[in-house]
Structure 1
């Protein structure tokens, strides 16, 4: 196990800090994410590997640190879990099983990480039945 997980996992409440996927329902631990990629100047320190990410979000985030807001077409920095509050940028919908973007940053992050792809929405519906989401 990644030794950084011992700090990041509990602090995140064992949920993906991007889509809020509950780690307890996965067959492996979530991943420690370098919020700002090394190739973009990110450091290997606690502030930069401070996000807990599910495999889905981490695979789609890859080395990106920005995305495009599908509403305005503007570029925006991705959500930074250590510097921003989730509730300021996102809202969880138990009607559509989507994560809704409230801001340019929220919408760009949802789009870049493909947070509302059909497999994710189906999973959220099941998690909600188990009272594990949102």
Structure 2
């Protein structure tokens, strides 16, 4: 069963048209933000609203079917950040220049690593957004 257009519209509104992981706004991203299954369907996740959030294609592609990751500090496996139930600012912070995402909890660090939130493309684009005064976003 596919996610209905009505549910997609609800998710977009709840997510305020921004990626739940890297916080990129729809109006700055080339391509439509995607509906992410927080628990992938491959692991029993559903198309129910409570399992869906918005993600940019970079984050969604890097996430794939991952549900956990290795925290590079503790070397422990941690559950990935859940943008529906967790507050971004409790797990992440922007670097001083506003171009990189820093994990401030084990969950945040694992998610930064697993989703490659500071990949070359993202950091390069964010640098331009900072120059334009569009970034970093506020909560």
TM-score calculated relative to the size of structure 1: 0.92
Higher RCO (C-alpha 8 Å, min separation 6): 1
CA 1:131–1:14 in 2, change beyond 3 Å: closer, same or farther? farther
Provide, for residues 70-95 of structure 1, a one-character-per-residue CA deviation record: whole Å limited to 9, x for no partner: 11211000000111100000001242
Structure 1 segments of 4+ aligned residues over 3 angstroms from their partners: none
- Give 2:29's aligned residue: 26
Name which of structure 1's ranges 94-103 and 14-23 shifts more when overlaid on structure 2: 94-103
- Give 1:53's aligned residue: 55
8 Å CA contact retained: 2:98, 2:130:
no
CA–CA distance in structure 2, aligned partners of residues 124 and 5 of structure 1: 26
Provide, for residues 1-21 of structure 1, a one-character-per-residue CA deviation record: whole Å limited to 9, x for no partner: x61321111221211110011
Aligned residue-pair number: 133
Name which of structure 1's ranges 57-66 and 10-19 shifts more when overlaid on structure 2: 10-19
8 Å CA contact retained: 2:69, 2:110:
yes
Identify unmatched segments of 5+ residues in structure 2: none
CA–CA distance in structure 2, aligned partners of residues 122 and 91 of structure 1: 18
TM-score calculated relative to the size of structure 2: 0.88
CA RMSD in angstroms, aligned pairs only? 1.6
Q: Out of 115, 120, 126, which is 2:122 matched to?
A: 120
- Give 1:130's aligned residue: 132
8 Å CA contact retained: 2:91, 2:103:
yes
Residue pairs, 1:84-95, within 5 angstroms: 84-95=86-97
